[in-house]
Amino acid sequence: MANYYCLMAGAPDIVMDEGGKNQISLAEFREQCEEVLTEADKQLIFYFYLEQDCKNIVKLLKASKTNDPKEKVDELGVEIATFGNYTMDQYQDLISAARTMNFNVHRYPSFLSEFARNYDFNKGKADFFPEDQMMLAFYEYAMQCPNAMIASWYKMNFDITNILTALIARKQGWNVSKYILGDTEVNEMIRTNNTKDFSLMNELDYMVELMKIVDTEDPVLKEKRIDAFKWNWLEEQTFMDVFSIEAVFAYFCKLEMLNRWELLDPETGKETFREIIESLRSEAKVPEEFIRKAPNRQFMNEQQ
């Protein structure tokens, strides 16, 4: 297992200070990683960028005016994020190949091609929400990551998304089971249990903290508290080895969170986020708990 002493020791500490930009961008850290990560570890960081690829592909397909394989996706006028794994030419190749049933499983994860192939058949259906379906496929793929910590990260995000969605649906008086995607043990408990916490306290060790967060009335503050919770989770997972590929992956995730909040709330976002993190840390488990768990731990649309 590779350790990245120079990379992580040289990476700036990323904290939520008052004002100012991050000392390093996602692009800059990615460039540094390209120079030192092993090929096997680059495949693990691939999962981080794959989530953005999924969002880009959905945008391109929704803007498409035809199912012609020759359609030029770079002429659709869609602005996509540039920090995925693939270029616009590769998105073109993936979508065109999918439309002609000419898949190349060695170039792209098969779920991307399957989604692109089926999009034109599904887009007119009343119960088809492309962002939700794509992110379900992504999470199912990412939860099979061979790295235990990264797989657990995506499982936690998937579970939290479904729990929050279920709570929103319950509050609105909707049928909860209609809004929960995926067939997991946690999802089955959400669909069939009517208690406040879906009887997940014994299933998920973070459920107590999550239930405190969901009671927050302000939707922006609630989202920040959720991100702060995830930030602390990442720190717990890398507590025992700050130079591992897991620590590198966690650094990417933290940079993405900070970048998102800088864009959404540049004036007050950092300070609020920093205060939330410090508050959550004061309630965190003792280091012995970290040690006990460390060896074993490995997008539905945003709703308000």
Which band of pLDDT confidence, cut at 50, 70 and 90, is reported for residue 281? Answer: very low
Q: List pLDDT tens digits, range 194-203.
A: 898 999 998 8
Q: Name the residue with higher pLDDT: 292 or 97.
A: 97
Asked whether the predicted pLDDT for residue 275 surpasses 80, the reply is no
pLDDT, position 2: 80
d(CA 86, CA 49): 9
The 10s digit of each residue's pLDDT in 61-91 is 999 888 777 888 888 888 888 889 999 999 9
Q: Let me know: does 255 contact 28? Beta carbons within 8 Å.
A: no
- CA–CA separation, 133 and 265 (whole Å): 29
Q: Is 163 helix (H, G, I), strand (E, B) or coil?
A: helix
Q: In this model, does residue 282 exceed pLDDT 50?
A: no
* pLDDT at residue 177, as a whole number: 87
User: How many Å apart are CA 200 and CA 190, to the nearest integer?
Assistant: 8
- Model confidence at 134, in pLDDT bands (50, 70, 90)? very high
Pairwise pLDDT comparison (302 vs 186), residue with the higher score:
186
Q: Which two tokens stand for residue 178?
A: 């209609």
Instruction: Please tell me the least confidently modeled range out of 51-60, 252-261, 291-300.
Output: 291-300
